[in-house]
Structure 1
């Protein structure tokens, strides 16, 4: 019997003021990706009923600009100046997460407190590698418990002129896959994790747009900031992987979203 396939959509976040860094996102069965995409397009059409459907579907969700109703990112974001539209957005996104059985993974690191604790400098390069090792351990556990295999889909950080950021991150990923972790041997990771691909924000990928909301909410929590009045933090907390085949239970802060300080 063929194993099920999953995709884990990931995005990064930084907070220079708090000297924190993180990577987080959502895993979904590949069989559910088309339904997820259709539901996200339907949500956009509902939010912008005055636009042609194709124009509405072409709008890309970006959480930090939605929070600010930043019309410089997209003039259509003016609708998010109304609380009711933000509420509709978060309710719609929460429904997509529920109906497509998505699972949250991630890791956040405080570079300053970690550096003080271990008497060394921690930069974003080290933080990325530490976050990815945490996530790959937990994603591999999830895949093994679901008798599945899965890939990583990361939002590209490259520009039209330079793809150095993606090449560095790809190197970090394959370093872990090649050498293994303290938890899994390399061969054990390779049995369940298929690889990594990079997709640009402008490609309007549904999985990456949903994943964009995950690091934002958890980074605010990690830094001790209150959530915005309109948010989906409670929904995302319930979706954290918590070991075996469970979500949102006691060990969610170990298997789902780890905080490293």
Structure 2
């Protein structure tokens, strides 16, 4: 029987601080998610958050807004992030990120560009497939629900890759090893997606020279999928497109 893996993903979009788009997250064995990550992360939230059902969202946590006002207490903030980081450190996860400088992309190709989400999703899918082949596994994608139009677009992109293959991997291999693409709602309190929220922004902050917030980049960088031979993390773990 093959190992079953979940890949939890989130994205960060260009903003006033930079033109990078990134899609990123982590792969984890289904049983590790169910038996370790879920109960332990929920306990951390229950121990330290006034509203444990509130979804973790790094931007709001950094700004102490939308339910995270309690993090103005530096002691509680440190305790919350330390416990989350210790949990991540203990987990057997593999991190995947794909980034692209959207302005550079537009300039390089004179504005005749494809959708950046589609490009990043192809990269992540291909690298996750490599991971599954190495680990003799099958996998499922989880991306937090956005809106109906965006969910539909991603579903179309996903199934086009499943049925048409990618540059390096044929469709038969993809179909055999990948299952569904799911869109958990914020109200579902999906802890796997909540943790994925910390990843792409941490790598973008590194790209634009911002401070490593609470050491998250260093932590997730240590968990990057290293790819073929165990030393190709820049190709299979953190893929900086067009760079």
Normalised by the length of structure 2, the TM-score is 0.92
Return the offset for 1:245.
8.1
Aligned match of 1:208: 193
Aligned match of 2:179: 194
Q: Whole-Å Cα distance in 1 between the matches of residues 183 and 200 of structure 2?
A: 17
Contact 1:6–1:29 (CA under 8 A) maintained in structure 2: yes
**CA deviation string 1:14-57 (max 9, x = no partner):** 02332221111111100111221110111112213xx5xxxx43
Cα-Cα RMSD? 1.7
Contact 1:108–1:222 (CA under 8 A) maintained in structure 2: no
Within the alignment, does 1:253 sit opposite 2:242 as a pair?
Answer: no
Q: State the aligned residue count.
A: 240
After superposition, the Cα gap between the structure-2 partners of 1:245 and 1:190, relative to the gap in structure 1 and judged at 3 Å, is: farther
Return the offset for 1:172.
0.8
Secondary structure (helix, strand or coil) at the match of 1:199 reads coil
Q: Whole-Å Cα distance in 1 between the matches of residues 84 and 98 of structure 2?
A: 22
- Shifted more, 99-108 versus 111-120: the winner is 111-120
Aligned match of 2:154: 169
**CA deviation string 1:116-154 (max 9, x = no partner):** 2222344xx611111011101110000000000000001
Within the alignment, does 1:222 sit opposite 2:207 as a pair?
Answer: yes
Contact 1:145–1:245 (CA under 8 A) maintained in structure 2: no
Q: Whole-Å Cα distance in 1 between the matches of residues 62 and 89 of structure 2?
A: 22
Within the alignment, does 1:4 sit opposite 2:8 as a pair?
Answer: no
Return the offset for 1:211.
0.3
Aligned match of 2:31: 31
Contact 1:25–1:215 (CA under 8 A) maintained in structure 2: yes
Aligned match of 1:19: 19
**CA deviation string 1:73-110 (max 9, x = no partner):** 11xx1221133322222222222223331111120111
After superposition, the Cα gap between the structure-2 partners of 1:107 and 1:65, relative to the gap in structure 1 and judged at 3 Å, is: same
Secondary structure (helix, strand or coil) at the match of 1:113 reads helix
**CA deviation string 1:153-172 (max 9, x = no partner):** 011002xxxx1110011101
Q: Whole-Å Cα distance in 1 between the matches of residues 223 and 128 of structure 2?
A: 14
Q: Whole-Å Cα distance in 2 between the matches of residues 241 and 83 of structure 1?
A: 33
Return the offset for 1:232.
1.5
Return the offset for 1:244.
4.3
Aligned equivalent of 1:66, options 61, 69, 88:
61
Aligned equivalent of 1:87, options 78, 81, 96:
78
Aligned match of 1:40: 41
Gapped runs of 5+ residues in structure 1?
none
Gapped runs of 5+ residues in structure 2?
none
